[in-house]
Each structure stands twice: as structure tokens, then as C-alpha cells.
Amino acid sequence: MIVAGFGFRGSARAESLASALARCRGAVPDMLASADDKAQSPVFRAFAARLGLPVIAVTEDALVAQSTLTQSAFSLRARGTGSVAEAAALAAAGPNARLIGPREISADGLATCALAEGDTP
């Protein structure tokens, strides 16, 4: 199971999310994940619907429990994790998940995406 985790600013558009995902070359995700408040965003929901993929909303506790490759000072201050995208992907992919690579940043700088592989069905 491949999970694409996302972090994004409120001004991000579907194109921002698509750009970040496209920069994660390789595996095709089976589901999308983000912080629980971001996962409810109309832009994120519409993006997931366009791809035909389910959305996993990740709690704050689950985000901060993940060990991320990236250590963004902004993300650490705002969310308590080095990368929302990496943490969301890992949390949603399950307890034995591993990152496929570090997060990628969209061309417009408004979204990040990371892929994780795990056992979550």
C-alpha cells in the first residue's frame, strides 16, 4: 500500500497538490493523507475525488509521533513535526511504514507531498 501524504497552505489549489505529487516520481498512491483539518479541505477532497482515491485524516498525535526525514522549522512550530507530508504518509501507511523518499515541494511552493509504503490495507 502506497500513501501520498500532503502538507499545504490554505491558499493551495488542486494544481499545487498535483504538482507536489508529480514531483514524487515512482510509485502511484493507493490513498491520500493529511492532517485531519487539511484532509477536510474542499480543495484536498476535490483533488482526491479527481484521482478516485480515498482520504485518510491523520490526528495531531499521530503526526507528532512520526520520525520524518525533513525538519522544517515552520512545520515544527506550526504542527510539531518536521514535515506534515512525511508524517501523514507514515501514519496512514501503518506501523511498519517507510518513506519512499523525502517530501517534494510543488512548483508554486504551496504544497508538499511524500510517499510512504506500508501494510495498511
Confidence band, pLDDT 50/70/90 cuts, at residue 120: low
Distance in angstroms (rounded) separating the CA atoms of residues 26 and 24 = 6
What 3-state class would DSSP assign to 81?
coil
CATH of the domain at 51: 3.30.420.180
| Chain segment 60-110, per-residue pLDDT in tens | 999 999 989 888 888 889 888 989 999 999 999 999 999 998 999 999 999
Question: Which pTM value belongs to this model?
Answer: 0.94
Distance in angstroms (rounded) separating the CA atoms of residues 73 and 116 = 22
* Domain hosting residue 10, numbered range: 2-117
**Total domains in the fold of the chain:** 1
